[in-house]
Amino acid sequence: MPPSRQNPDFTSRVLAVVRRIPYGRVATYGEVAAMAGRPGAARAVGNIMRTCGRPDVPCHRVIAAGGRLGGYGGSEVLKRQLLMSEGVVFHGNRVMSPSTGSGRGNARKGRSRLRKRR
């Protein structure tokens, strides 16, 4: 059964959180999970993003911990290009952030640390 059918309330909350990620910023799967009320459910967020396919949800703004891109319909190149077109800065294969670390610790406490573009 697709993840969106398993827990429609959580899926709705995840999609709402992702819609609120501003242009030029990103959030990790773990941060999105915490903001949607389920800290530690990063994999579930990844599954929701993988099956989403909705143009009103900027799935490309959700990245893996430590600034890694994670998946994007099988094309990390496309995900990187979309983020770069929004002004997101990369260092090698990782998204740069004005904060240190991935922000995981604070996300688990329910505080958002969406990464800014430089």
* 59 catalytically annotated: yes
**What's this model's pTM, rounded to 2 decimal places?**
0.77
pLDDT digits (tens, 9 = 90+) for 78-112: 999 999 999 999 998 899 864 323 333 333 334 44
Res. 73: pLDDT tops 90? no
* Residue 26, beta-bridge partner list: 115
- Domain extent listing, the chain: 3-108
CATH number for the region 3-108 comes to 1.10.10.10
User: 14-31 pLDDT, tens per residue?
Assistant: 999 999 999 999 999 999
- SS3 category, 15: helix
Single-letter amino acid code for the residue at 17: V
Q: What's the rounded Cα separation, in Å, for the pair 58 and 49? A: 9
Q: What is the pLDDT of residue 96?
A: 87
Q: Which of 14, 35, 52, 59 is catalytic?
A: 59
